[in-house]
Amino acid sequence: MSEIPLLRYSPIPRRLLRVAAILIYVFLYGPMAVLVLYSFSEPKIMTFPVTDFSLKWYGILARNDQLLRSVANSFIVALSVIPLSLLMGGLAAFAIDRFEFPGRGFFERLLMLPLMVPGLITGLAILLLIKRFEIALSLATVILGHSIAWMPVVTAQLLARLRRLDRRIEEASLDLGARRFETFLRVTLPNLRAAILGSALLVFTLSFDEVAITFFLTGKDNTLPMQIWSMLRLGITPEISAIATITITVSFVLIVASLRLLQRER
Protein backbone atom coordinates (compact mmCIF):
# COMPACT_ATOMS: atom_id res chain seq x y z
CA MET A 1 0.00 0.00 0.00
CA SER A 2 2.89 2.37 0.66
CA GLU A 3 4.06 2.11 -2.97
CA ILE A 4 0.90 3.68 -4.42
CA PRO A 5 1.52 7.24 -3.10
CA LEU A 6 5.14 7.02 -4.24
CA LEU A 7 4.04 6.11 -7.78
CA ARG A 8 1.34 8.74 -7.72
CA TYR A 9 3.69 11.60 -6.82
CA SER A 10 6.80 10.32 -8.58
CA PRO A 11 8.03 12.61 -11.43
CA ILE A 12 8.66 9.63 -13.73
CA PRO A 13 4.99 8.75 -14.40
CA ARG A 14 4.24 12.45 -14.95
CA ARG A 15 6.97 12.70 -17.56
CA LEU A 16 5.76 9.54 -19.26
CA LEU A 17 2.24 10.98 -19.26
CA ARG A 18 3.47 14.20 -20.88
CA VAL A 19 5.39 12.27 -23.53
CA ALA A 20 2.35 10.10 -24.23
CA ALA A 21 0.11 13.17 -24.48
CA ILE A 22 2.53 14.88 -26.89
CA LEU A 23 2.71 11.75 -29.08
CA ILE A 24 -1.08 11.52 -29.17
CA TYR A 25 -1.41 15.17 -30.20
CA VAL A 26 1.24 14.71 -32.89
CA PHE A 27 -0.58 11.64 -34.17
CA LEU A 28 -3.91 13.47 -34.29
CA TYR A 29 -2.86 16.90 -35.57
CA GLY A 30 0.41 16.17 -37.36
CA PRO A 31 -1.30 15.19 -40.65
CA MET A 32 -3.39 18.39 -40.49
CA ALA A 33 -0.26 20.47 -40.05
CA VAL A 34 1.37 18.78 -43.05
CA LEU A 35 -1.81 19.37 -45.07
CA VAL A 36 -1.74 23.08 -44.23
CA LEU A 37 1.96 23.24 -45.12
CA TYR A 38 1.40 21.64 -48.52
CA SER A 39 -1.33 24.17 -49.34
CA PHE A 40 1.40 26.83 -49.57
CA SER A 41 3.67 24.74 -51.78
CA GLU A 42 4.55 26.29 -55.15
CA PRO A 43 5.01 23.12 -57.29
CA LYS A 44 2.06 20.87 -58.08
CA ILE A 45 3.98 17.76 -57.04
CA MET A 46 4.09 17.76 -53.26
CA THR A 47 7.57 17.13 -51.87
CA PHE A 48 8.90 17.38 -48.36
CA PRO A 49 10.37 19.60 -47.13
CA VAL A 50 8.56 22.45 -48.85
CA THR A 51 11.07 24.89 -50.33
CA ASP A 52 9.00 27.28 -52.44
CA PHE A 53 6.02 28.90 -50.72
CA SER A 54 3.19 30.54 -52.61
CA LEU A 55 -0.51 31.45 -52.40
CA LYS A 56 -1.04 30.30 -55.97
CA TRP A 57 -3.32 27.40 -55.08
CA TYR A 58 -5.65 29.64 -53.09
CA GLY A 59 -6.01 31.82 -56.18
CA ILE A 60 -6.77 28.75 -58.31
CA LEU A 61 -9.25 27.63 -55.69
CA ALA A 62 -11.04 30.99 -55.85
CA ARG A 63 -11.53 30.49 -59.60
CA ASN A 64 -12.82 26.92 -59.33
CA ASP A 65 -16.56 27.45 -59.70
CA GLN A 66 -17.39 23.78 -59.26
CA LEU A 67 -15.55 23.54 -55.97
CA LEU A 68 -17.01 26.79 -54.68
CA ARG A 69 -20.49 25.54 -55.57
CA SER A 70 -19.87 22.37 -53.57
CA VAL A 71 -18.81 24.50 -50.56
CA ALA A 72 -22.05 26.46 -50.83
CA ASN A 73 -24.01 23.20 -51.03
CA SER A 74 -22.29 21.91 -47.89
CA PHE A 75 -23.21 25.08 -46.02
CA ILE A 76 -26.82 24.81 -47.24
CA VAL A 77 -27.04 21.21 -46.06
CA ALA A 78 -25.35 21.77 -42.69
CA LEU A 79 -27.34 24.91 -41.87
CA SER A 80 -30.59 23.17 -42.83
CA VAL A 81 -29.80 20.08 -40.78
CA ILE A 82 -29.36 22.12 -37.59
CA PRO A 83 -33.01 23.27 -37.13
CA LEU A 84 -34.44 19.92 -38.26
CA SER A 85 -32.24 17.86 -35.93
CA LEU A 86 -32.81 20.31 -33.06
CA LEU A 87 -36.58 20.11 -33.56
CA MET A 88 -36.76 16.32 -33.81
CA GLY A 89 -34.10 15.67 -31.17
CA GLY A 90 -35.58 18.25 -28.79
CA LEU A 91 -39.08 16.79 -29.04
CA ALA A 92 -37.71 13.31 -28.46
CA ALA A 93 -35.70 14.46 -25.44
CA PHE A 94 -38.72 16.19 -23.89
CA ALA A 95 -40.91 13.17 -24.54
CA ILE A 96 -38.44 10.84 -22.81
CA ASP A 97 -37.83 13.17 -19.87
CA ARG A 98 -41.30 14.54 -19.19
CA PHE A 99 -43.73 11.73 -20.08
CA GLU A 100 -44.29 8.23 -18.78
CA PHE A 101 -45.21 5.71 -21.47
CA PRO A 102 -44.64 1.98 -22.05
CA GLY A 103 -41.31 1.17 -23.60
CA ARG A 104 -39.73 4.53 -22.79
CA GLY A 105 -36.33 2.99 -22.06
CA PHE A 106 -36.44 0.96 -25.28
CA PHE A 107 -37.46 4.08 -27.23
CA GLU A 108 -34.48 5.99 -25.81
CA ARG A 109 -32.05 3.25 -26.80
CA LEU A 110 -33.67 2.92 -30.21
CA LEU A 111 -33.03 6.61 -30.91
CA MET A 112 -29.31 6.07 -30.33
CA LEU A 113 -29.15 3.35 -33.00
CA PRO A 114 -27.95 5.65 -35.84
CA LEU A 115 -24.88 6.51 -33.76
CA MET A 116 -23.92 2.84 -33.43
CA VAL A 117 -24.73 1.71 -36.97
CA PRO A 118 -22.10 2.51 -39.66
CA GLY A 119 -22.93 5.44 -41.90
CA LEU A 120 -22.99 3.17 -44.96
CA ILE A 121 -25.82 1.13 -43.45
CA THR A 122 -27.74 4.23 -42.40
CA GLY A 123 -27.36 5.83 -45.83
CA LEU A 124 -28.40 2.64 -47.63
CA ALA A 125 -31.46 2.21 -45.41
CA ILE A 126 -32.61 5.79 -46.00
CA LEU A 127 -31.95 5.39 -49.74
CA LEU A 128 -34.16 2.29 -49.93
CA LEU A 129 -36.92 4.13 -48.08
CA ILE A 130 -36.64 7.13 -50.39
CA LYS A 131 -36.73 4.92 -53.47
CA ARG A 132 -39.82 3.23 -52.06
CA PHE A 133 -41.66 6.57 -52.22
CA GLU A 134 -40.04 7.43 -55.58
CA ILE A 135 -38.41 10.62 -54.31
CA ALA A 136 -35.68 12.09 -56.52
CA LEU A 137 -32.23 12.39 -54.98
CA SER A 138 -31.17 15.97 -54.27
CA LEU A 139 -29.79 18.17 -51.52
CA ALA A 140 -33.18 17.79 -49.80
CA THR A 141 -32.67 14.04 -49.43
CA VAL A 142 -29.15 14.67 -48.09
CA ILE A 143 -30.60 17.08 -45.51
CA LEU A 144 -33.21 14.51 -44.53
CA GLY A 145 -30.61 11.77 -44.16
CA HIS A 146 -28.24 13.92 -42.12
CA SER A 147 -31.08 15.07 -39.85
CA ILE A 148 -32.08 11.48 -39.11
CA ALA A 149 -28.47 10.40 -38.58
CA TRP A 150 -27.50 13.25 -36.22
CA MET A 151 -30.78 13.67 -34.36
CA PRO A 152 -29.53 11.28 -31.60
CA VAL A 153 -26.67 13.70 -30.89
CA VAL A 154 -29.18 16.43 -30.05
CA THR A 155 -31.37 14.04 -28.06
CA ALA A 156 -28.47 12.84 -25.95
CA GLN A 157 -27.22 16.37 -25.21
CA LEU A 158 -30.63 17.84 -24.35
CA LEU A 159 -31.75 14.80 -22.39
CA ALA A 160 -28.65 14.95 -20.20
CA ARG A 161 -29.29 18.66 -19.53
CA LEU A 162 -32.99 18.14 -18.84
CA ARG A 163 -32.21 15.47 -16.26
CA ARG A 164 -29.90 17.89 -14.44
CA LEU A 165 -32.42 20.73 -14.59
CA ASP A 166 -34.01 21.68 -11.27
CA ARG A 167 -37.73 21.27 -11.91
CA ARG A 168 -38.56 23.49 -8.94
CA ILE A 169 -37.74 26.65 -10.92
CA GLU A 170 -40.37 25.66 -13.47
CA GLU A 171 -42.86 24.96 -10.72
CA ALA A 172 -42.09 28.36 -9.18
CA SER A 173 -42.77 30.03 -12.52
CA LEU A 174 -46.12 28.26 -12.80
CA ASP A 175 -47.03 29.16 -9.23
CA LEU A 176 -46.34 32.83 -10.00
CA GLY A 177 -48.95 32.76 -12.76
CA ALA A 178 -46.90 32.07 -15.88
CA ARG A 179 -48.38 29.76 -18.47
CA ARG A 180 -46.58 26.59 -19.50
CA PHE A 181 -45.42 27.97 -22.84
CA GLU A 182 -44.23 31.18 -21.17
CA THR A 183 -42.39 29.08 -18.58
CA PHE A 184 -40.76 27.12 -21.36
CA LEU A 185 -39.58 30.26 -23.15
CA ARG A 186 -38.38 32.20 -20.10
CA VAL A 187 -37.21 29.45 -17.74
CA THR A 188 -36.63 26.10 -19.43
CA LEU A 189 -35.17 27.25 -22.75
CA PRO A 190 -32.52 29.60 -21.26
CA ASN A 191 -31.27 26.71 -19.11
CA LEU A 192 -30.89 24.58 -22.24
CA ARG A 193 -29.01 27.24 -24.20
CA ALA A 194 -25.57 25.71 -23.72
CA ALA A 195 -26.77 22.22 -24.70
CA ILE A 196 -28.57 23.60 -27.75
CA LEU A 197 -25.53 25.58 -28.87
CA GLY A 198 -23.19 22.64 -28.36
CA SER A 199 -25.53 20.31 -30.22
CA ALA A 200 -25.91 22.76 -33.10
CA LEU A 201 -22.15 23.14 -33.45
CA LEU A 202 -21.58 19.39 -33.34
CA VAL A 203 -24.36 18.69 -35.84
CA PHE A 204 -22.99 21.35 -38.21
CA THR A 205 -19.50 19.83 -38.07
CA LEU A 206 -20.73 16.26 -38.55
CA SER A 207 -23.03 17.20 -41.40
CA PHE A 208 -20.43 19.36 -43.17
CA ASP A 209 -17.90 16.50 -43.17
CA GLU A 210 -20.23 13.54 -43.77
CA VAL A 211 -19.31 11.29 -46.69
CA ALA A 212 -20.97 7.88 -46.32
CA ILE A 213 -24.59 9.01 -45.98
CA THR A 214 -24.10 11.76 -48.57
CA PHE A 215 -22.72 9.23 -51.05
CA PHE A 216 -26.03 7.36 -51.13
CA LEU A 217 -28.40 10.33 -50.99
CA THR A 218 -26.80 13.02 -53.13
CA GLY A 219 -28.05 13.82 -56.61
CA LYS A 220 -26.40 15.98 -59.23
CA ASP A 221 -25.32 18.60 -56.67
CA ASN A 222 -22.14 17.64 -54.84
CA THR A 223 -21.21 18.68 -51.34
CA LEU A 224 -17.62 19.54 -50.47
CA PRO A 225 -16.58 16.07 -49.19
CA MET A 226 -17.99 14.43 -52.33
CA GLN A 227 -16.28 17.00 -54.56
CA ILE A 228 -12.94 16.38 -52.85
CA TRP A 229 -13.51 12.64 -53.22
CA SER A 230 -14.03 13.04 -56.96
CA MET A 231 -10.95 15.26 -57.24
CA LEU A 232 -8.80 12.68 -55.45
CA ARG A 233 -9.32 10.27 -58.33
CA LEU A 234 -7.04 12.50 -60.40
CA GLY A 235 -4.43 12.68 -57.66
CA ILE A 236 -3.67 14.77 -54.60
CA THR A 237 -2.88 18.39 -55.44
CA PRO A 238 -2.12 21.45 -53.29
CA GLU A 239 -5.52 22.76 -54.37
CA ILE A 240 -7.15 20.06 -52.26
CA SER A 241 -4.83 20.98 -49.40
CA ALA A 242 -5.91 24.61 -49.76
CA ILE A 243 -9.64 23.88 -49.44
CA ALA A 244 -8.90 21.52 -46.54
CA THR A 245 -6.92 24.29 -44.83
CA ILE A 246 -9.81 26.72 -45.20
CA THR A 247 -12.20 24.12 -43.80
CA ILE A 248 -9.96 23.48 -40.79
CA THR A 249 -9.62 27.22 -40.15
CA VAL A 250 -13.37 27.83 -40.30
CA SER A 251 -14.03 24.89 -37.96
CA PHE A 252 -11.42 26.19 -35.50
CA VAL A 253 -12.94 29.69 -35.52
CA LEU A 254 -16.44 28.30 -34.92
CA ILE A 255 -15.24 26.18 -32.01
CA VAL A 256 -13.36 29.07 -30.38
CA ALA A 257 -16.36 31.40 -30.84
CA SER A 258 -18.74 28.88 -29.29
CA LEU A 259 -16.43 28.30 -26.32
CA ARG A 260 -16.15 32.06 -25.74
CA LEU A 261 -19.92 32.37 -25.92
CA LEU A 262 -20.42 29.52 -23.45
CA GLN A 263 -17.88 31.02 -21.02
CA ARG A 264 -19.61 34.41 -21.22
CA GLU A 265 -22.95 32.73 -20.55
CA ARG A 266 -21.59 30.98 -17.45
pLDDT value for 263: 58
Question: Residues 57-75: pLDDT tens digits?
Answer: 787 777 888 888 888 899 9
Work out the angle at residue 49's Cα, subtended by the Cα atoms of residues 46 and 51, and round it to the nearest 5 degrees.
Answer: 85
How far CA 209 is from CA of 47, 132, 180, in Å, comes to: 27, 27, 39
Of 243, 207, 249, residue with least CA distance to 84: 207
**Domains of the chain (ranges, CATH numbers):** 1-30 (no CATH), 65-265 (1.10.3720.10)
Please state whether the predicted TM-score (pTM) of the whole model is above 0.85.
no
CB–CB of 129/169 below 8 Å? no
Cα–Cα dist 226/123, whole Å: 14
Question: Residues 167-226: pLDDT tens digits?
Answer: 788 788 877 877 888 888 788 888 888 888 888 888 888 888 888 888 888 888 888 888
> What kind and span of H or E run contains 133?
none
**Angle, helix 139-164 to helix 65-98, in steps of 10 degrees:** 40
Question: Residues 102-132: pLDDT tens digits?
Answer: 888 888 888 888 888 888 888 888 888 888 8
Backbone angles phi, psi at 20, to 5 degrees: -65, -40
Neighbouring C-beta atoms of residue 235, cutoff 10 Å: 10
